[in-house]
Structure 1
């Protein structure tokens, strides 16, 4: 910590820079600073020091609870996404099987099935790996929100691609004769 010309303590500039971008890191730094270094003014007043420590601990608990809540939401989102992809995959396979029963070249249909399966697997794995990495690295709340946003946008793109493949399969099927 540094002091100004009147001897008052001033916070570290880096802490000010990171406050808006990483509130969790800033809080941890503040808590550590209070616990390890202490503040000369607070040392004279035990009641104030106790109050600061209690407030710091309560803030820490609140942030931990918030992180757990976000992680649970992400876990639910991963499960929902997996179920959604499984459901879309099952529908597509049913359509393809139906198309195979009507006169369509098996090679073309097999190629389409492979394309669908590969797209699903690639997208689902990329998203799950991103989120798992974020969670393993004890990401801050801001980083978890960014991961969730990337997750949502990837699945919107995946949905669009699936819809395109399904409509392409529908239009490429020969129309049954009346």
Structure 2
């Protein structure tokens, strides 16, 4: 019975020794991989910090360039003779009913009728004159509106344009 117990104890001691050795190997490998992981994390953190610094430097440079471009645009506009508009221009709303042009199409059988055609042309000229008046009055109210300049230029007949 003692021999059996000695044999079992010897086996258990050997198994315990083997388990301790395996545990030590696993612990060492975990420790070394932890050290490597920590080094990699530190390296990545340093790279992120460097990139962050580069990005902030680029943003500052971009901001400076935007300011320079804005100043150059203002100088260019002054050289062209255009005043730089710094305040918002309030636009006077135009009544949509005033802009409606009543151009009724002619019935096909009346197209050859000379008087009808003449009346149609007079009516169209009257509507065009009404539009010119609207454009001219709006242009006097807001002289910096470029679309009104365009409309004034191509509508014709303005002495003030």
- Report which structure shows greater RCO (CA 8 Å, sep ≥6): 1
What interval of TM-score do these two structures reach, taking the shorter chain for normalisation?
A: 0.3 to 0.5
Q: Higher helix fraction: Structure 1 or Structure 2?
A: 1
Q: Which has more radius of gyration? A: 2
